[in-house]
């Protein structure tokens, strides 16, 4: 029985922690959130230089050909640091889409740039409030011309290209397209979200040039498997953030006095932090399950992914809001850092499907497994 990371993976974690501690403090997150820069370009460059963007891209496309276990380690650390960079869009979504559905030509054209971090990809799925389904999609392609509005698109304002999910009259009702974002038919507008440390855009496509990615009418199936994999990687980011929230709460509680003693000596606070720890631990163990499932391409990946995501969403919401609570009035100030995990937890809880959506997916996946 070996359900732990390897020595090399643990070393990678140490390296990543050290690097991010020096290059991505909360001050960096605050700077991007407060200011005009959509992301920390310098941090992105350094991350790419270390090869993180190339982690699972095969060597023949100038990637490192490592596994999803290494990527999970990196994801957790980026989540812990709340790194304000387009890593998730480019690596968990765009890269995965090309790996899964790309033709040999498309892989040659896009993967090396993604590996080097010189090309940033994003994933354009949602169009309006509420759940997205093949029936709800209005973005439509006509041959190699695509029209529609996508909002919100994480990193849509800074990416070089987008993977766009459009409606299809074939098969499962959707198709994927690669759309270069630097062309006349594309206009993009930065939009403000509850987490300004991460950039988002409204993408308006007006007969923009597009290339079909994968087969027409197989888009929704691709979306499901891309989101399953992304769910695990986002879950690792979420548990990293859970740790950050817990440590922040603990540190504050140990030093803040009330009625003559640290608030950490009161059971209301002790039990609150213990409950955060419990949820964090369950979520982390489910992330191990998820990491195992993606790295072995297990049949039960839909179950593992949904389990990891549901668990992580619940844990991160709880940890981040109770961290604010533990800080009392100061937790509610702009000056304190409690706002950062609180914002990020809700962004990650809604970006690729809500808790309720994935709870339903989990039961559906279990029903399917039992019927088989």
Partner 1 sequence: MDFNDTAVEATFREEVKTWLSANIPTPDELKGLDYIGRAKLWQKRKYDAGWACIRWPKEHGGRDASAIDQVIWNQEESNFDTPDSIFGIGHGMCAPTMMTWATDEQNKNYIPKLASGEDVWCQLFSEPAGGSDLAALRTRAEKDGDDWIINGQKIWTSGAHYSDYGVLVLRTDPTAPKHQGLTYFFIDMKSAGIEVKPIRQISGGANFNEVYFTDVRVSDSQRLGAVGQGWQVALTTLMNERASIGGGGGGVNFDSVFDLATRVNIDDAPAIKDKNVRAQLATWYAQESGLKFNGYRSMTALSRGEIPGPENSIGKLVGAPKQQDMASFALDLLESGGAIWDPELSDAAGMFQATYMASPGLRIAGGTDEIMANIIAERVLGLPQDIRVDKGIPFNEVPTSNS
* Contact residues: partner 1, CB under 8 A: 1-5, 69, 246, 250, 253-254, 261-262, 264-265, 267, 269-271, 273-275, 277-278, 281-286, 288-289, 291-292, 295-296, 306-307, 310-311, 314, 355-356, 358-360, 362-363, 366-367
Of 147 and 296, the one with the shorter C-beta distance to partner 1 is 296
Of 84 and 331, the one with the shorter C-beta distance to partner 1 is 331
Of 87 and 289, the one with the shorter C-beta distance to partner 1 is 289
Shortest distance, position 273 Cβ to partner 1, whole Å: 6
Q: How is 210-222 classified by DSSP, letter by letter?
A: -EEES-TT-HHHH
Shortest distance, position 266 Cβ to partner 1, whole Å: 9
Shortest distance, position 267 Cβ to partner 1, whole Å: 7
Choose among 85, 82, 88: nearest CA to 319. Answer: 82
For 90, phi and psi rounded to 5 degrees?
-75, -40
Shortest distance, position 270 Cβ to partner 1, whole Å: 4
Of 123 and 288, the one with the shorter C-beta distance to partner 1 is 288
Shortest distance, position 289 Cβ to partner 1, whole Å: 5
Of 101 and 362, the one with the shorter C-beta distance to partner 1 is 362
Q: Which run of H or of E encompasses 203?
A: strand 200-209
Shortest distance, position 86 Cβ to partner 1, whole Å: 28
Q: What is the Cα–Cα distance from 27 to 29, expressed in whole angstroms?
A: 5
Residue 101 near residue 222 (C-beta atoms within 8 A): yes
Of 307 and 339, the one with the shorter C-beta distance to partner 1 is 307
Choose among 226, 282, 274, 232: nearest CA to 253. Answer: 274
Give residues with Cβ within 8 angstroms of 162, minimum separation 6: 94, 121, 122, 123, 124, 150, 153, 156, 178, 179, 181, 203
| C-alpha to C-alpha distances, 142 to 108, 130, 207, 232, nearest whole angstrom | 25, 26, 8, 34
Pair of tokens at residue 196: 């300004």
Of 141 and 233, the one with the shorter C-beta distance to partner 1 is 233
Shortest distance, position 193 Cβ to partner 1, whole Å: 25
């Amino acid at each position: 029985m070996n359900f732990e990371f390897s020595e090399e993976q643990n070393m990678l974690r140490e390296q990543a922690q050290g690097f991010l501690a020096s290059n991505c403090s909360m001050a960096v997150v605050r700077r991007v959130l407060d200011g005009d820069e959509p992301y920390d370009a310098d941090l992105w460059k350094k991350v790419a230089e270390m090869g993180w963007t190339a982690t699972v891209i095969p060597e023949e496309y100038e990637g490192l050909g490592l596994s999803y276990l290494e990527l999970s380690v990196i994801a957790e650390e980026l989540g812990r640091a709340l790194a304000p960079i387009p890593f998730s869009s480019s690596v968990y979504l765009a890269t995965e889409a090309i790996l899964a559905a790309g033709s040999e030509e498309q892989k040659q054209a896009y993967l090396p740039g993604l590996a080097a971090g010189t090309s940033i990809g994003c994933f354009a799925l949602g169009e309006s409030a509420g759940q997205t389904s093949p029936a709800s999609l209005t973005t439509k392609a006509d041959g190699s011309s695509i029209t529609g509005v996508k909002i919100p698109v994480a990193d849509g304002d800074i990416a070089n290209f987008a993977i766009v999910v459009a409606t299809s009259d074939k098969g499962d009702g959707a198709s994927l397209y690669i759309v270069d974002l630097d062309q006349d038919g594309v206009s993009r507008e930065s939009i403000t979200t509850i987490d300004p440390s991460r950039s988002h855009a409204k993408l308006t496509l007006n007969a923009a040039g597009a290339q079909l990615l994968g087969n027409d009418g197989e888009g929704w199936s691709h979306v499901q498997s891309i989101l399953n994999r992304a769910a695990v990687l986002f879950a690792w980011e979420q548990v990293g953030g859970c740790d950050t929230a817990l440590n922040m709460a603990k540190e504050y509680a140990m030093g803040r006095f009330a009625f003559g003693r640290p608030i950490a000596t009161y059971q209301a606070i002790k039990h609150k932090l213990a409950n955060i720890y419990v949820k964090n631990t369950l979520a982390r163990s489910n992330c191990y399950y998820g990491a195992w499932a993606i790295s072995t391409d297990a049949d039960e990946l839909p179950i593992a992914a949904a389990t990891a995501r549901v668990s992580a969403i619940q844990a991160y919401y709880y940890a981040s809001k109770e961290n604010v609570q533990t800080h009392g009035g100061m937790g509610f100030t702009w000056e304190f850092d409690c706002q950062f995990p609180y914002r990020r937890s809700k962004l990650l809880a809604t970006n690729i499907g809500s808790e309720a959506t994935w709870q339903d997916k989990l039961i559906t996946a279990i029903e399917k497994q039992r019927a088989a």
